[in-house]
Amino acid sequence: MREFIDGNTAIVRAALDSGCTFFAGYPITPASAILMAMMRELPRVGGVAIQGEDEIASIGMCIGATLAGARAMTATSGPGISLYSENVGLAIMGEVPLVIVDVQRLGPSTGGATTVSQGDVQFVRWGTAGGFPIIALSPSTVPEAYALTAKAFDLAERFRCPVFLLTDKELATTLATVDLDAYPQVAVRSRATGEGGPPYRFDPVDVVTPLHEFGRGTTVRFTGSTHDEAGFITKHLPTVDALNRHLIEKIEAHRAEIEMVDADLEDDATTLVLGYGITGGAVRAAVATARSRGERFSGLVLQTLWPVPETAIGAALGGVQRVIVPELNPGLYRREIECIAGGRTVIGVERIDGELISPEQILAAVA
Amino acid sequence: MTVTISAPYRNDTPYPFCPGCGHGGILDSLDEALRSLALDPSGVVIVSDIGCAGLSDQYFSTSAFHGLHGRSITYATGIKLARPELTVIVIMGDGGTGIGGAHLINAARRNVGITVLVFNNLNFGMTGGQHSTTTPEGAITATTPGGNLEHPLDICGTVGVNGAGYVHRGTSFDTDLAQRIAEAIAHPGFALLDIWELCTAYFVPANKATRRSLEATIERLGFGRGVLFERPVEDYGTAYRAAAAGLPPRSRPTPIAVEHSSPLVAPLSLLVAGSAGAKVRSAARLIGEAAIRSGLWVTQRDDYPVTVKTGHSVSEVMLAPTPRAPVGGGVPDVAVVASEDGLAKVRTLLGRMSPDGLVVTLPAFAGIASPAQVSVVDPAAAPGRVPRASLSLVLLTVAMTRRGVLSAAALRAAGAGPFAAENLAAIETGLALA
């Protein structure tokens, strides 16, 4: 059996299958379909969905609901991510699991509401004060939208942090044929509720204490301010240092658990085409076309954008001499590749007119 | 900081507030109110935000959340919606009623069952005595050196006229404050206490403010004191659950069975161009479903302006014998043009089509310039009248039938879903015209 569904619908289904019990969001093209579907479905499964008075309220409600035991998701587009900024920082500092869907549209500002873009790939990484690590995943197909939404819920729980899921107008609204067997089985990670103990632990530096929820028989304190393990505000230098190193190392020391790619490598490849998200379709098609012409190409479609999957990229770089990085933005992620490409030539293929990159456009860059 | 937890609500840490500040007295009243209600401390969540009042949660041994400036009401709303059985108390300053004003109004309007204590000392204390939304006209602050020109926000009136369940205004000097806080907590709906007090660091020295002048200012402004609104309202989250009780189970899309076949051996790209509001996308989707029923792999990419029922609506449908991801830049093999808006959008692409291509359109667009074969279909030749909203599906049926891509049986099966009568009529018209 097959179905004809779009990325937004796949995300909603994956969220429900991942135990999502709370959603708050504000209408915005092209993410509104997620809001509407969650408003329809969540009350049917014992959850709660609410349309906030704005994006700030929406993410704030998600944070509160999570601490009270919900598994929460919100969805918006670039202009809404702008308004999420301060609370993304709070979720990092407060160690609050949360899935944030960014259905990218062409910016800046209100930009092109119904126009595809990949312009937020650096914004989600650096869009809140402090520069601390975040996790961002980026599906390139509808089945991946399902799988990576489920993965986003899992990583949010595992690392107690906000996880971004970056899609775009085309993946969100383009209908695709999916075989029902293509959806992975989803396992829902349990929480250590009612166990007591401190709400935060910084020692060992990379270990994450499971979330203790409100109202499970012990008092719990959470805060967005610099705090000790009990959740009290502190300026004690060793404690401040331990807290901040913990926020970094809990992710950095476990990159292998987070880094995901779809690699299609040839041992003797001279050219690597590296993309992510909706551009992944053109990457795969370009690699197939080049090989049919007898050229030695590898393809790498990143599913994790942050942290940068350096191990997998390093393996794909192997003996290649040049890397083509197609993006629907002014070359924003290419700089990450340039940092690890050694002496190889890195060629950007960029479109910022609101149309998708074609496989021919990728191949023309090295013709 | 070493904190000793003492039963049941306050811990043993002394308050950090300035001598004469009202905050400590209000917190003592909150402690007294909690004692009178004898609530489980772990089920009480104090949500604070920023400013001196935002430090308050640290002096309680209840559960607590300390968040961002002006956003405490949003966190409290999320907590209460997720777990209506928790007692959720927001402690915010008058500053928060400015930066978080939208949250204040909307939580009141929804009657989320939280209790909001506004520690209203008429200025920003922690950051240096700047004016806030509640600073009275004429008052001297760090940012109104010549006297405040702005009218102060009537917090109680604002939440009261917007439906809040319980609204009270008083001062930190009131002897009944603990009782009023307990009433507010016990109220099922949104409850707010606007508690005026003295900021001895800034507002008092700059304005020679006293307990008497606080009370006189409330009087002069006509804001009122005591319980100003009290309504028998329900907590939003409780009402939400009651409303959800009768809903059907989670909806799931109907899977599509592959029970027909198509002779297609290479990918075929189909472009449908019409007007927004004329069912272009739903017609394209129906064709896509018919193709999936025929064993093909289909993607459908839509383009439309931000407006709803004006302008163009264009769908690109890729039909292929094997799975293919959508990529950009394609020139269609088959195009359907159903309106002037659509034609204007795709004219260039039509001009780049192959001579093997097919364009199916209406008599009005017979002059389309395209190397492809342009086939004009006149709906007036059909047996019955064809509604405008059915034109895309009629033309698509003609195009798919003439190309031999989809069988009549597959089209009819796909048309038998929602809006079956209209869709099946359009399909039959298309089959007749093909």
pLDDT tens by residue, B324-361: 887 766 899 999 999 999 999 999 999 999 999 999 99
Q: Which residues of A touch B243 (CB under 8 A)?
A: 43
Closest by CA to B256, choosing from B226, B202, B298, is: B298
Residue in B closest to A360 by C-alpha:
B329
Q: Which residues of A touch B254 (CB under 8 A)?
A: 3
Q: Give A172-187 pLDDT, tens digit per residue.
A: 999 999 999 999 999 8
Q: Give the rounded percent of residues in chain B with a pLDDT score beyond 70.
A: 98
Query: Taking residues B398-422, what's their average pLDDT?
Result: 96
Which of A131-140, A212-221, A284-293, B212-221 has the weakest average pLDDT?
A: A212-221
Q: Which of residues 122-141 of A touch B (CB under 8 A)?
A: 140-141
Asked whether B172 and B196 are in contact (CB, 8 A), the reply is yes
Q: How far, CA to CA in Å, does A24 sit from each of A49, A275, B7, B33, B245?
A: 6, 31, 36, 32, 20
Does residue B160 surpass a pLDDT of 50? yes
Per-residue pLDDT, B254: 86
Residue in B closest to A234 by C-alpha:
B1
Q: Is B311 left (phi over 0), alpha (psi -120 to 50) or beta?
A: left
Per-residue pLDDT, A367: 84
Q: Give the rounded percent of residues in chain A with a pLDDT score beyond 70.
A: 99
Rounded to 10 degrees, the C-alpha dihedral A25/A26/A29/A34 comes to: 30
Average pLDDT, chain A: 96
Residue of B65, B103, B256 with shortest CB distance to A57: B103
Q: In 3-state terms, what secondary structure has residue B230?
A: strand
First to last CA, chain B: 83
Q: Do A285 and B325 touch (CB under 8 A)?
A: yes
Query: Taking residues B262-289, what's their average pLDDT?
Result: 96
Does residue B5 surpass a pLDDT of 70? no
pLDDT band at B171 (very low <50, low <70, confident <90, very high): very high
pLDDT band at B2 (very low <50, low <70, confident <90, very high): very low
**Cβ–Cβ contacts within 10 Å for residue B113, how many?**
28
Which of A138-142, A189-193, B226-230, B333-337 has the weakest average pLDDT?
A: A189-193
Closest by CA to B112, choosing from B243, B239, B232, is: B239
Residue of A4, A90, A361 with shortest CB distance to B289: A4
Does residue B382 surpass a pLDDT of 90? no
Per-residue pLDDT, B353: 97
Residue in B closest to A358 by C-alpha:
B328
State how far residue B61 is from chain A, nearest Cα, in angstroms.
7
Give the C-alpha separation, B264 to B296, whole Å: 8
State how far residue B85 is from chain A, nearest Cα, in angstroms.
9
Per-residue pLDDT, B310: 87
Q: Which residues of A touch B65 (CB under 8 A)?
A: 64, 67, 94, 214, 221-223
Per-residue pLDDT, B327: 72
State how far residue B391 is from chain A, nearest Cα, in angstroms.
22
Q: Which residues of A touch B306 (CB under 8 A)?
A: 29, 113-114
Does residue B1 surpass a pLDDT of 60? no
Which of A294-303, B13-22, B303-312, B399-408 has the weakest average pLDDT?
A: B303-312
State how far residue B34 is from chain A, nearest Cα, in angstroms.
15
Q: Give B241-257 pLDDT, tens digit per residue.
A: 999 999 999 998 889 99
Residue in A closest to B67 by C-alpha:
A224
**Cβ–Cβ contacts within 10 Å for residue B251, how many?**
10
Q: Do B67 and A215 touch (CB under 8 A)?
A: no
Per-residue pLDDT, A192: 66
Residue of A24, A284, A351 with shortest CB distance to B325: A284
On whether any CB of chain B is under 8 Å from the CB of A217, the answer is yes
pTM of the model: 0.96
Does residue A135 surpass a pLDDT of 80? yes
Asked whether A183 and A147 are in contact (CB, 8 A), the reply is yes
Structure tokens at A138: 């980026």
Q: Which residues of A touch B106 (CB under 8 A)?
A: 52-53, 57
- The full 3-state SS of B90-103, as one line of letters, equals EEEEHHHHHHCHHH
Give the C-alpha separation, B281 to B273, whole Å: 9
Q: Give B12-71 pLDDT, tens digit per residue.
A: 899 999 999 999 999 999 999 999 999 999 899 999 999 999 999 999 999 999 999 999
State how far residue A200 is from chain B, nearest Cα, in angstroms.
13
Give the C-alpha separation, B187 to B185, whole Å: 5
Does residue A194 surpass a pLDDT of 80? no
Structure tokens at A343: 């002496």
Average pLDDT, chain B: 95
